Structure 1
Amino acid sequence: SYYVYLLFCIFSLYYYVVFIFSLFIYQFILFSLIVLFNTELSLYDAFGKIGSDVEGGNVNRPGSLRECLSVEGLEFRGQYCQVFLKQDSVEYFVGVCVPDSCTESEVQTLVVYDLHNAAQMFTQKKKNSSQGLLATESSGSSYSSLNGIRILSLLWIISGHTMQLSAWSNLDNDKRWKEMVERNPLYVFAFSGPVYLAVDSFLLLGGLLSARSLLSSIQRSDNTLSFSLVAHFLFKIQPLHLFIVCLTIGLFSIVQRGVFWFIAEDEVYSCKKYWWSNLLLINNLFTITDICAPWTWYLSIDFQFYATTPFLIFLYRINKSMLVIVSVILLMISSVTGALITGLLHLPVHQPTTLYFLYYYNKPYTRYGPYLLGILAGIYMTTKKEALIKQQWQAVIGWLCSLSVMALLVGLAYVLREVPPYPSLTHAVYQGMHRSLWALALVWIILACEEGYGGFVDKILSLGLWAPLSNISFACYLIHPIIIILYNGKQETTMHYTDFNFFYLFLGHLLLTVSVGYVLTVLIEKPYLFLPKR
């Protein structure tokens, strides 16, 4: 027992010594880091920085001589230097604090390098961000008609929001407006009829481009799919998306209110309460009245649908028949769900109501059809070996069917405008299928234009004018409701609807939207796409 006790004491002493030594090493490292951090902080703090009243002549930046000389590192002390600069006709000096081991030539090299690097970073960022935005030609790998479809859909949305956000709050002839506009097919590009089909056009394009992008990435990376594509998608949409959330809160909080400012106040309240749903891209799962910046629900549903694209492409690569079966099932689920919700809740086919927004409008289980058809179209058009249309008569039949379907869908929206008090099978079938049929008709237009059977439609959709607008369309979509709400909220009297007044108002909103959209694209959206990849 004596030897056991002795052995225990020896081991205890050993571990105690090791513990004390480890504690000493830990404290030494911690002290070194603190000294190093404090030293670097003190060196930076002693640098000269821009002061106030520069326009009044306060241009010199002396920094702190005393603080610089008091810096003591592990192997150096602070050294105070002055750099004299000239910018146009203004001469000034900047105090810099560097280690005393630096020579005069090294300080000069450091200053010249920093100035050159800063200027290069600024000009390169500006060049990269704005490069190609105003080009009137699409890249060789893109489909020529997509830009036209995207911009015409965007114009449709801006026109609809111009009418919608004004008519709901501050018209002095609201009853006459409803009689003139809401029920008249001639105003389909205003807030009349199935105006929401423009969003389904966006969903179709999103699915087509996501499938093409993922397939191209797989081909470039030896049949492997990288998760960096998801990160790239988030980097593309989230910086500008979250900026819009902050802008909504900040701008609507500080601008002096008008008589019709209650819509802006509602936006501020919703953003302060539900901003996190925008961050997580799940705000479309909430009621439209509880969403921060309600028009951003599209970004959430687009991301949720984008997440399904790799699964469908995986099915395509392992078994094409399985892809067809799963796609048919998903399409039927989406259509049947929309039809059941419409029938059970007596929903209208397009007029916004509380139940329509609560259970149908922005929900993924009712809007997946167009995106799914876009994915399938993207897979087919990216991998097809030969043209689908081989004869002129095939193109004629395809165009007749496509245009007839689109005209029928628009016309039926007016025929089915009135909602019966009982469950309507006609309303339910229309609601369940019309979005997917619209997307299918657009798929034919894209395919026909791609294979040389687009005629004058292809010439219109492929105009060079659409390319630069398409490059800034994302920013335009996000900023245009803020411009409209700001304008409406600042009014001191009600507005009077006439065709000319609102067409003029639409052009004004459009001009501001394009101008601000270009600035936001250059300064916020594009720079994040040029961040160095690690």
Structure 2
Amino acid sequence: MVKQKIGKGWDSLGKPAAGVSDGNYYWLGDYELCSQLRKEEKFDGQYCRVELEIPDALVEEGCPQTDPLAIVLGVCMPRSCNDDQLHKLIQEYSPYKTVIDCELDVHFSIPSIIVLATLALWVALQISATFFSPESWIWMCLNIKINTRRALSTKRAPESLHALHGLEFITFIWFITAMVYNLMQPYIENVAFSYDSVPYVTAHPTNNYSYLVDGLLALSALYTTYLLYGEVTTVKDILQVLAKTLVERCSRSWWKNLLFINNLFGVKDTCVDFGYVVSLEAQYFVPLIVLIYLARSRLFTAKIIAILLLSLSISFSFYRAFIESLPPAPLLTAEPIAPERIEQMLNALVISPLTRASPTIVGFLFGVCMWNEDGVKYKDIFGKLFTVIMTLFSAFAALFVMFSLLPFATSSAGHPLFLAFYAAFHRPLWAISLLSFLYLSHHGSFAWIHAILTWRIFSPLSKLTWIALIVAEPIILFIFSALNRPSYATNWSTEMCSDNVNLVDPNNLKALIP
């Protein structure tokens, strides 16, 4: 009996697995055997993950990186041992620095109970507002039936920018696919899979993809300007629109999310990695409404202010990237970049309201211009020439943003001026390229593409893009972290996971319900 218990305990221990050369450093053993020993009361054990931090100098001589190689080992440890005792036990067999995480008896903490109670109260208010149907606008904002009908409505004004909904949804799908490729890295056994694809041109759009958020910001600003320009005429109207939008965009998370200020506290303090996106959208809405209101009476002044703000945003981004020698964008590189520099870049260039303001300003400028003109006259030679020039510029700008960082990804090196230029200009360039394509499509170019983008189903789907973007990240993390052992990643499996995330996302499911 004792030998059998020892044998099962040893069998549950993590051992070197196949694929070590591909980055499989997850030797997790058998969780079920450890759990079975506890259930049979043969050994009061707990399953622990022991991370052994082996210095790079012992792995590859002359390696310029200082990040240690982390080997994760699954061990069935005595439940009666505390953290210090577990570390002493491991140090008897390993001289390396260790990090130990053991399974816990999960109990709801006081903050968790408060959050659950708040959510329960929120749901109760919605149910009450739905059944009693009071006519107050505050209660109407909580009415599930009314808001579901509005969210799923496919009714569209004949003069609206219908192609915008298609572009927004396609950008969302692209963004989710790239998120899967990047967020899965801690949960796959062949970690080298992610780095092996870095030199390939076809994989680069899922490696360098943060500018897709700027496309969504630009599309949102354009649509807001296009809908409200000419209609918001008083301060009272502005406050009504602001209140309505804040209610619709209100997030059910911590106070930083509730106040839309999580991006002001650093990249580590956001509830989810992409929570800053909703905060930026909400923060930009207020000055955008002010610009729209000003443009009603002083269009030229509003354009000058917008151009000055655009120049300030680009200049500030260039200055921070060049002076501090920051990476131009968050992406995987063949030679890893120090985590400190990555965090500095995220705080300075990615979540900062000033550095990310340029796409919203571009959206405003396109919105007021499209409102005040009748489109390109194709029978006019100048109109045709303008269309050709705008098409070429849109294509070259998009290709530059998508692929010009490929040499940097493969070498982690580049001229400081070019890297700072890319950091400052790639976001407004992507916004201009995307909105130029929308402008041309709206006025008759690319007829077959325009027919696809104006598909009616994109209208309800695009309304839920911002909420679905936040919900997608926990779904991705759940899919990978819920597995007993790391998965083996391939392009097909990653694409399948991306499709599943888009289907499982409750917001997209709601939009697909007839």
Q: TM-score, normalised by structure 2?
A: 0.65
Equivalent position amino acid for 1:338 in 2: S
The residue number in structure 1 matching 2:274 is: 295
Q: 1:427 aligns with which of 407, 419, 430?
A: 419
Question: Are the equivalent residues in 2 in contact too, given 1:211–1:313 (CA < 8 A)?
Answer: yes
What's the offset of the Cα at 1:429? 0.9
| Cα displacement string for residues 159-181 of structure 1 (whole angstroms, at most 9, x for unaligned residues) | 122111111x122221232122x
* Counterpart-to-counterpart distance in 1, 2:376 and 2:312: 28
What's the offset of the Cα at 1:157? 1.6
* Counterpart-to-counterpart distance in 1, 2:144 and 2:258: 27
| Cα displacement string for residues 259-289 of structure 1 (whole angstroms, at most 9, x for unaligned residues) | xxxxxxxxxxxxxxxx221121111112111
| Cα displacement string for residues 338-374 of structure 1 (whole angstroms, at most 9, x for unaligned residues) | 1111112222222352222122111111111110010
The residue number in structure 2 matching 1:184 is: 200
What secondary structure is seen at the aligned counterpart in 2 of 1:321?
Answer: helix
Summarize the alignment of residues 52-63 of structure 1 with structure 2, pairs less than 5 Å apart: none
Aligned pair 1:148/2:134, yes or no? no
Question: Are the equivalent residues in 1 in contact too, given 2:362–2:428 (CA < 8 A)?
Answer: yes
* Counterpart-to-counterpart distance in 1, 2:377 and 2:188: 50
* Counterpart-to-counterpart distance in 2, 1:429 and 1:376: 22
What secondary structure is seen at the aligned counterpart in 2 of 1:494?
Answer: coil
Q: 2:148 aligns with which of 118, 130, 144?
A: 130
* Counterpart-to-counterpart distance in 2, 1:202 and 1:145: 13
Question: Are the equivalent residues in 2 in contact too, given 1:346–1:420 (CA < 8 A)?
Answer: no
* Counterpart-to-counterpart distance in 2, 1:302 and 1:432: 19
The residue number in structure 2 matching 1:165 is: 183
* Counterpart-to-counterpart distance in 2, 1:232 and 1:129: 12
The residue number in structure 1 matching 2:315 is: 336
Q: 1:278 aligns with which of 240, 246, 257?
A: 257
Gaps of 5+ in 2: 1-127, 332-341
User: Whose radius of gyration is greater, 1 or 2?
Assistant: 1
Moved over 6 A (4+): 119-122
* Counterpart-to-counterpart distance in 1, 2:154 and 2:204: 29
The residue number in structure 2 matching 1:373 is: 362
Distance verdict in 2 for CA 1:389–1:164, change over 3 Å? farther
The residue number in structure 1 matching 2:213 is: 199
Aligned pair 1:461/2:468, yes or no? no
Moved more, 138-147 or 424-433: 138-147
Structure with bigger helix share is: 1
What's the offset of the Cα at 1:428? 0.6
What's the offset of the Cα at 1:200? 0.6
Aligned pair 1:208/2:225, yes or no? no
Aligned pair 1:416/2:397, yes or no? no
Q: Which of 1 and 2 has higher RCO (CA within 8 Å, sep 6+)?
A: 1
Distance verdict in 2 for CA 1:328–1:473, change over 3 Å? closer
What's the offset of the Cα at 1:185? 2.3
Summarize the alignment of residues 129-528 of structure 1 with structure 2, pairs less than 5 Å apart: 129-131=147-149, 133-134=151-152, 138-167=156-185, 169-180=186-197, 182-190=198-206, 192-193=207-208, 195-218=209-232, 225-238=237-250, 241-242=251-252, 245=253, 275-352=254-331, 353-382=342-371, 384-390=372-378, 391-417=383-409, 418-420=411-413, 424-513=416-505, 515-519=506-510
Question: Are the equivalent residues in 1 in contact too, given 2:154–2:460 (CA < 8 A)?
Answer: yes
* Counterpart-to-counterpart distance in 1, 2:228 and 2:460: 24
What secondary structure is seen at the aligned counterpart in 2 of 1:217?
Answer: coil
Gaps of 5+ in 1: 1-114, 246-274, 523-534
Identity rate, percent: 20
* Counterpart-to-counterpart distance in 1, 2:343 and 2:133: 53
Question: Are the equivalent residues in 1 in contact too, given 2:205–2:403 (CA < 8 A)?
Answer: no
* Counterpart-to-counterpart distance in 1, 2:417 and 2:288: 32
Question: Are the equivalent residues in 2 in contact too, given 1:339–1:428 (CA < 8 A)?
Answer: yes
What's the offset of the Cα at 1:435? 0.7
| Cα displacement string for residues 36-87 of structure 1 (whole angstroms, at most 9, x for unaligned residues) | xxxxxxxxxxxxxxxxxxxxxxxxxxxxxxxxxxxxxxxxxxxxxxxxxxxx
Distance verdict in 2 for CA 1:132–1:358, change over 3 Å? closer
What secondary structure is seen at the aligned counterpart in 1 of 2:238?
Answer: coil
* Counterpart-to-counterpart distance in 2, 1:120 and 1:337: 50
Equivalent position amino acid for 1:232 in 2: K
What secondary structure is seen at the aligned counterpart in 2 of 1:452?
Answer: coil
The residue number in structure 1 matching 2:89 is: none
Q: Say what the alpha-carbon RMSD is for the aligned residues.
A: 2.9
Equivalent position amino acid for 1:345 in 2: E
What's the offset of the Cα at 1:508? 1.3
* Counterpart-to-counterpart distance in 2, 1:277 and 1:134: 29
What's the offset of the Cα at 1:203? 0.7
What secondary structure is seen at the aligned counterpart in 2 of 1:366?
Answer: coil
* Counterpart-to-counterpart distance in 2, 1:510 and 1:147: 16
What's the offset of the Cα at 1:427? 0.6
* Counterpart-to-counterpart distance in 2, 1:471 and 1:521: 12
What's the offset of the Cα at 1:216? 4.3
Equivalent position amino acid for 1:292 in 2: C
Distance verdict in 2 for CA 1:518–1:171, change over 3 Å? closer
* Counterpart-to-counterpart distance in 2, 1:402 and 1:520: 31
Distance verdict in 2 for CA 1:334–1:226, change over 3 Å? closer
Question: Are the equivalent residues in 2 in contact too, given 1:284–1:297 (CA < 8 A)?
Answer: yes
Distance verdict in 2 for CA 1:386–1:228, change over 3 Å? same
| Cα displacement string for residues 136-171 of structure 1 (whole angstroms, at most 9, x for unaligned residues) | 56433420211111101111121122111111x122
